[in-house]
Amino acid sequence: MKMVVKVGGSLADEGLEKSIMNVYAAAKDNQVVIVHGGGPQISALSEKLGKKPVYVTAASGFKSRYTDQETRDIAVMAMVGNVNKRIVSLLNSRGISAVGISGADGPTLIARRKDKLIVQEGNKKRVLKGDYSGKIDEVNGSLVSLLISLGYVPVVAPIAISSDGELVNVDGDRAAAYIAKAINADVLVSVTDVPGLILNGKVVRRLTIKEAEELVSQLEGGMKKKVFAALEALKIGVPAVVICSGLMENSVASAAKMECGTVITR
């Protein structure tokens, strides 16, 4: 089975080793691509460098980081230079041949730089210029597919390149969705620090696209973004998405069999 595993930035600190051990267990029997986040690591490095992180609320209601040029450079350092290589080293140390790349390599992820952000401030909207985040326009899966064919586990940081050759920060969940489509993955597994989509204190085990669309208005924060990304993945052709915990033993291998977490299908 071919699978893309998205490892959330919240796991890239304390839960990283356990999550990667779960990926390691799955990689022995499946072709695996890892896409990772790095939000907490970007914030921590920003603080160390004296750059206070700035968060804004988009007109759509989603909260996100305002990524000016300096913050973009910090994001590249934190995700490509730190988180990515830590994941690669963990896998390599356990006998899994891993190769770390960013979406700019190949290039794999081509994005349209947003430049201007429309943000909501109370009842007013304001335009922020100089943003270096991007929306993915095109995915080239050839480099990732080549690495898989040679027996490697590609580890991808969500830094894309624009048509003007600028590095841009893109959403990791969406990057994973588009890479899954580009390489014809059988399943996209979104690994987080909770056991799945939780409603009324219980994990929702299975959802169709229609059911997920009806539920999404009840969600908030990171889980709402993950479900939106899952819906996007399914609509562009990924057969199934599983949201599960990276802290539970063998969770990724179980997710590949649709046996844990929340399974969303077409």
pLDDT in tens, 187-229: 999 998 889 999 888 999 999 999 999 998 888 877 888 899 9
Q: What is the pLDDT of residue 12?
A: 61
User: d(Cα 67, Cα 114) in Å, to the nearest integer?
Assistant: 10
Q: What is the pLDDT of residue 144?
A: 98
Sheet strands side by side (includes 2-7): 98-102, 153-157, 31-36, 2-7, 187-192, 240-245, 262-265, 206-208
**Phi, psi angle pair for 53, to nearest 5°:** -60, 140
Q: pTM above the 0.85 mark?
A: yes
User: d(Cα 5, Cα 136) in Å, to the nearest integer?
Assistant: 18
Query: 3-state class of 231 per DSSP?
Result: helix
Q: What is the pLDDT of residue 50?
A: 96
Q: What is the pLDDT of residue 225?
A: 85
User: d(Cα 153, Cα 27) in Å, to the nearest integer?
Assistant: 8
- Sequence ranges of the domains in the chain: 2-265
CA atoms within 13 A on the CB side of 73: 4
For residue 63, name the pLDDT band (cuts at 50, 70, 90): confident
User: d(Cα 24, Cα 11) in Å, to the nearest integer?
Assistant: 15
Q: Tell me yes or no: is domain 2-265 CATH 3.40.50.720.
A: no
Q: What is the pLDDT of residue 14?
A: 66
Mean pLDDT rounded to a whole number for the chain: 91
Strands (E), the chain: 2-7, 31-36, 55-57, 63-65, 98-102, 109-121, 124-139, 153-157, 159-161, 167-169, 187-192, 198-199, 202-203, 206-208, 240-245, 262-265
Helices and strands, number each (H, E), in the chain = 9, 16
β-pair partners for 111? 136
**Average of per-residue pLDDT across 89-100:** 94
